[in-house]
Amino acid sequence: MDTDVEVLIAGAGPTGLLLANELGLAGVRTAVVERLPQRTGRSKALNLQPRTAEVLDCRGLLEPVLDRSQALLPSGHFAGLPLDYGALDTAYPHQVGIPQARVEEFLEDHLAAYGVPVLQGRELTSFRQDADGVTATLLGPDAAERTVRAGYLVGADGGRSTVRRVLGVPFPGRDGRVGMAVADIELAAAEGESGGSGEPWRLPDLRPDPAGVAFLLPLGDGVHRLFLGGPEQQGADRDAPVTVDEVGAALARCPGPPRTLRAVRWASRFTDASRQAERYAVGRVLLAGDAAHLHAPAGGQGLNLGMQDAFNLGWKLAAVARGDAPDGLLATYHAERHPVGARVLANTRAQMVLTLPDPDAVVVRELLADLLTTPEANRRVAAMISGTDIRYPMPGAPDHPLLGARARARAPGVRLLSGRGALLADAPSATVAAAAVRADRIDQGPAADGGEALLVRPDGHVCWAGRDDDADGLRAALARWFGPPRSRLPDGGAPGRPR
Ligand SMILES: Cc1cc2nc3c(=O)[nH]c(=O)nc-3n(C[C@H](O)[C@H](O)[C@H](O)COP(=O)(O)OP(=O)(O)OC[C@H]3O[C@@H](n4cnc5c(N)ncnc54)[C@H](O)[C@@H]3O)c2cc1C
C-alpha cells in the first residue's frame, strides 16, 4: 500500500516540531498532527539549556531563537542551588530564557520552508502497524475520522501519550508524591519590582519550608510566574482548576513586599510523577519527549530532553526513509536516549528530595550546597543539568577522549547546516578519500584543533576520531553510521541534494 507520508508525527510540542524540522531538512515527506485546534500561547518551560542551544546552532536556528528570547542566565541550578555555567566546555555557557510557546511558534513557522504541514485539530486516536507501515486513525475538527498511511509513526504527544498507550509499552516508575502548581499572574506594580521586560530572570528559590514552596519569577511586561507547592496543593486532582485563593495564599508567602494580584492568566497543576517508557521503539512506532519520559520540572530539563531526543532520532529516521541506513541504526535511538532519560529521572527525583522540609533532607541539602562550592563538583553537576556531558557509546571504534562526545568540545565552529555528517580532516589524505564515496551523506571540512581527524554524525556527536591515515578504522565507522557507499545501494542510492 502506498504511504501518504513517510513519517507521521503525533504532537506539535517542542519535540514533535524539532523532529519535523529535522525530517524536513532531510527532504523526508512528513506531517505533524496536533490535537489542539490552535496554539494556546501558554508555556510550561521557560528555558533552553546549553546543549539545546548547541543543537539549534548546529542547524543555524539559534540566532532567530535568541532574537525571540528574554534573557541569558549565566547559571543553572540543582534544586535551587546555583550551578556556574561559565565553567562549561561550550560556546553557550548560559540558559536561554525563552517561553516554550515562542520556541514552538518559531519551529512551526520554520517548517513552512520545507512544506511540512502541521495539521491542527487532528487527534490521533489509534493505529495499527504491519511489516510495511502504520495506519493511523485521526479524529478531525468536524468529528470526522480519517486514516493516514505512514512508513513510521512518532509519538511526540506528551505525558499522557495516546501512542504509548496504544503501543502497550510498559511505563514503569511511580506516581507523584508532591503536588504543585504554576500560575502566570499579573500583579499591580510594586515599588522596585516592575515586572517590566528589563527585570532580570533569576534562579528559583527552592529552600525547604514547612509552609511549602512559593516563589515568583518575573517574565516581563508585568507578568510573573508563581510556583506553589504547599499543603493546599497536596492530593488535589491534576485536572482540578487552581483557585484564586490558592494563588493569593502562595503569593502572600513569597518573600518581598506585599503584592496585589490583578489577574490569573493561566494556571495548571503538576506533580513529581516519575516514569519512563521501557522501550522507545516498537517496530515502526517510536516515542520521543514527554511521551517517553515523565519527571518533575526540577532544574529545567524536560523540554530540553525532548528536543534532544528529536535531534538524535531525526537523522536516523531520515536515513531509514531514504533507504541508505545501515543495519541497526534506528535501534541506536533507544540505546542512546533511554539511559540519558533515566539519568534525568534520577536527578530530578534527587532534586525533589532536597526541597522537602524534612530535617534529614535538609542536612543532605546543606552537605550538597557545601560540596557545590567546590569548582569540580559544581562543574560536574552543571555539565549534567546542561546536557553537555552526554557521551554515547560508539561500539567498535578505537577509544578516544572525544569518541561519543559533542564535536563542539574540540571544534566549536563546527555547524552541520546541511543535516549531513562531517569528516573533519586535512586533505588530501586516505581518510578524505574514504569518505568521498558517501559525499551525499557526509560533508568535508578542515581538521579540528590538534590536527586529528574526526567523523561527526549529523547530531554533532563524534563517531570516529583518529589519525589521518587510519582509513580502515574510518571505513568501519562510515559503514556503521552512514551505510554503504552509493555504488552499493540497491538503486545506486538516492541522489544527494546539494545544500
Ligand atoms: C509546570 C511545568 C514547568 C516546566 N518547566 C520546564 C522548564 O523550565 N524547562 C524545561 O526544559 N522543561 C520544563 N517543563 C517540561 C516541559 O514543558 C515538557 O518536557 C515539554 O513540554 C515536553 O515537550 P513534548 O513536545 O514532548 O510534549 P508536549 O509539550 O506535551 O506536547 C505534546 C503535544 O501533543 C499534543 N497531543 C497530545 N495527544 C495528542 C494526540 N492523541 N494526537 C495529536 N496530538 C496530541 C498536545 O496537544 C501537545 O501539543 C515543565 C513542565 C511543567 C509541567
Domains and CATH numbers, the chain: 5-46+99-172+275-348 (3.50.50.60), 179-271 (3.30.70.2450), 407-488 (3.40.30.120)
| Residue 34 near ligand 1, beta carbon < 6 Å | yes
Segment 152-176 shows an average pLDDT of 98
Q: pLDDT at position 323, please?
A: 92
Q: pLDDT at position 490, please?
A: 61
Q: pLDDT at position 125, please?
A: 98
Q: pLDDT at position 440, please?
A: 85
Confidence of residue 257 (pLDDT cuts 50, 70, 90): confident
**Mutation test of ligand 1: which of 75, 127, 157, 166 has the most ligand atoms closer than 8 Å to its C-beta?**
157
Confidence of residue 279 (pLDDT cuts 50, 70, 90): very high
Segment 251-260 shows an average pLDDT of 90
Q: Is the pLDDT of residue 6 over 90?
A: yes
Segment 416-444 shows an average pLDDT of 81
Q: Is the pLDDT of residue 282 over 90?
A: yes
Least confident residue range of 114-123, 282-291, 335-344, 440-449:
440-449
| Residue 439 or 139, more confident | 139
pLDDT above 70 covers what percent of the chain?
92
| Residue 158 near ligand 1, beta carbon < 6 Å | yes
Grid cell listed for 488? 552499493
Instruction: Identify the residue whose C-alpha is closest to ligand 1 atom 5.
Output: 45
Please give the number of the atom of ligand 1 that sits closest to the Cα of 306. 26
* Ligand 1 geometric centre to CA of 199 (Å): 27
Select from 306, 418, 413, 304 the least CA-distant residue to 59: 418
CA atoms within 13 A on the CB side of 12: 30
Instruction: Identify the residue whose C-alpha is closest to ligand 1 atom 21.
Output: 303
Taking only the tens place, the pLDDT of each residue in 384-416 is 999 999 999 998 888 899 999 999 876 777 789
Q: pLDDT at position 472, please?
A: 84
Query: Across all residues in the chain, what is the average pLDDT?
Result: 91
Q: Is the pLDDT of residue 68 over 50?
A: yes
Q: pLDDT at position 281, please?
A: 98
| Residue 12 near ligand 1, beta carbon < 6 Å | yes
Segment 268-284 shows an average pLDDT of 97
Confidence of residue 492 (pLDDT cuts 50, 70, 90): very low
pLDDT above 90 covers what percent of the chain?
76
* Ligand 1 geometric centre to CA of 412 (Å): 30
Q: pLDDT at position 119, please?
A: 97
Q: Is the pLDDT of residue 230 over 50?
A: yes
Q: pLDDT at position 201, please?
A: 72
**Mutation test of ligand 1: which of 44, 108, 139, 305 has the most ligand atoms closer than 8 Å to its C-beta?**
44
* Ligand 1 geometric centre to CA of 438 (Å): 37
* Ligand 1 geometric centre to CA of 290 (Å): 6
Segment 311-339 shows an average pLDDT of 97
Strand partners, 120: 34
Segment 350-356 shows an average pLDDT of 96
Q: pLDDT at position 495, please?
A: 36
Confidence of residue 192 (pLDDT cuts 50, 70, 90): very low
- CA 494 and chain centroid, separation: 30
Q: Phi and psi at residue 473, in whole multiples of 5°? A: -60, -40
Q: Is the pLDDT of residue 171 over 80?
A: yes
Confidence of residue 199 (pLDDT cuts 50, 70, 90): low
| Residue 133 near ligand 1, beta carbon < 6 Å | no
Instruction: Identify the residue whose C-alpha is closest to ligand 1 atom 9.
Output: 300
* Ligand 1 geometric centre to CA of 11 (Å): 9
Instruction: Identify the residue whose C-alpha is closest to ligand 1 atom 26.
Output: 289
Highest mean pLDDT pick, 127-136, 442-451, 459-468: 127-136
* Ligand 1 geometric centre to CA of 236 (Å): 21
Q: Is the pLDDT of residue 286 over 90?
A: yes
- Residue identified by cell 557521551 is 391
Confidence of residue 255 (pLDDT cuts 50, 70, 90): confident
